[in-house]
Amino acid sequence: MSRETQGPSPADHNDKNAPELRNTRPADSLRKWMVWFLLCAGLIGSAVAYKLYVGGTGENPRSFLGIPISPYEQTTPPKLGAVHGVRLAIPANYLFFPVEYEGEDSWAPKKTKPVRTSESEISSFSVYVQWPSLLPRQDRNEESYQDSFKTRGLRPHEWLMISVEPHNLKPPTSPGGINYMLEDRPDNYLGRRTRSSFDLLVPINPLRPKDISPQVQFEYRAQPVFDLQSAIPVGPGTEWAQHWNKAIYWQGIPGAVVTTYIQCTRGKNVSGNELAGDCKHSFELKEFKANVQVNYTANLLPQWRSIEEQARRLMLSFRGDPNSQE
């Protein structure tokens, strides 16, 4: 057999003058191209997302799937609709996302815009306001508004996201089941939600996340914090920000009557930086038969009672003219 047929000998590998051997492996090349493609796609996606949420003003306002988002002009008519029969006229410049109506999906908006009246049933809406003035985005607070998106969870800011979601008034399909525990219904939804938060860390709970150490459990605080009962996860890993590592605050009895329920994230990020903490503060708005959730950074938690009161007043101020239409 000739040497050409045999291929290079070990001596060739040691010979500095031997021709370089090329390792042509299509799989490795494909992997490299895929990594570069995903990296570029991620960078482009981040830029688009930033533009979507923080984007321009004036002639180039932010938009969500082509639908204009705050800031609206002061002369823009209010967005009309009803929540369980309560007619609303929501000032357009307060809105963070477009109002969602029953039977519509914001991710797939209709090409032909329906005429909205005070009878159009609303499925949810969110406003974004500065605390404590509760003013929407405008020239005087534009810098603060933009900064609220740049903190990346490391610094607190002074903006509240207030969202309203009507209760589901249809009869439950399986009362007492696991799905029923989390359904947004008027029969003490917050009490059930608080109870389910604690149940998440029960060792025998099949829904307990698999990545949690068996030693992790809730520790109930003996003394109230800001006039609220509270509990925090303790054990290995609780020094890091995790999807399950949240402090719980409430007024009432979990599983029974709870009037205020607050979850706040806690811990450090992967870089070891302590996060500012994001709180989700829920309470019932009986006048609308709806649940209200207020999002804010944890530095505002001591003011939870005032935030709840002012958010309630703001939502009730949106009750509008029953004879109007867009």
* Model pLDDT for residues 106-133, shown as the tens digit of each residue: 667 677 778 899 999 999 999 999 999 9
N-terminal to C-terminal alpha carbon distance within the chain: 89
The closest of 64, 68, 85 to 77, measured between CA atoms, is 68
Q: Are 196 and 181 in contact (CB under 8 A)?
A: yes
For residue 254, the 8-state DSSP code is T
Is residue 1 in a domain?
no
Is residue 93 in a domain?
yes
Distances (CA, A) of 159 to 62, 130, 144, 294: 18, 4, 8, 10
| Joined tokens for residue 114 | 């329906």
Q: Are 131 and 158 in contact (CB under 8 A)?
A: yes
Rounded distance between C-alpha atoms, residue 294 and residue 282, angstroms: 6
Is residue 15 in a domain?
no
- How high is the pLDDT of residue 166? 95
CA-based max dimension of the chain: 98
The Cα angle at residue 13 between residues 11 and 14, in degrees rounded to 5 = 65
- How high is the pLDDT of residue 124? 96
Rounded distance between C-alpha atoms, residue 96 and residue 100, angstroms: 12
Is residue 293 in a domain?
yes
**pLDDT category, 69, cuts 50, 70, 90?**
low
Residue 172 scores a pLDDT above 70? no
Is residue 96 in a domain?
yes
Is residue 97 in a domain?
yes
Q: How many CB atoms lie within 10 A of CB 160?
A: 23
- How high is the pLDDT of residue 313? 98
- How high is the pLDDT of residue 113? 77
How big is the chain, counted in residues?
326
Residue written as tokens 């938690």?
301
- How high is the pLDDT of residue 86? 97
What is the span of the domain harbouring residue 180?
73-316
Per the model's pLDDT, the better-predicted residue between 165 and 31 turns out to be 165
Q: Express as a percent the part of the chain with pLDDT over 90.
A: 53
**pLDDT category, 29, cuts 50, 70, 90?**
low
Is residue 213 in a domain?
yes
**pLDDT category, 182, cuts 50, 70, 90?**
low
pLDDT digits (tens, 9 = 90+) for 75-93: 789 999 999 999 999 999 9
| Joined tokens for residue 22 | 């090329």
Q: Are 246 and 265 in contact (CB under 8 A)?
A: yes
Is residue 16 in a domain?
no
- How high is the pLDDT of residue 183? 59
Per the model's pLDDT, the better-predicted residue between 60 and 147 turns out to be 147
Q: Are 92 and 126 in contact (CB under 8 A)?
A: no
Tally of domains within the chain = 1
Give every CB contact of residue 211 below 8 A, 6+ residues apart in sequence. Answer: 242
- How high is the pLDDT of residue 10? 43
Q: Express as a percent the part of the chain with pLDDT over 70.
A: 69
pLDDT digits (tens, 9 = 90+) for 274-326: 999 999 999 999 999 999 999 999 999 999 999 999 999 999 999 986 556 66
- How high is the pLDDT of residue 168? 84
Q: What are phi and psi of 42, to 5 degrees?
A: -65, -40
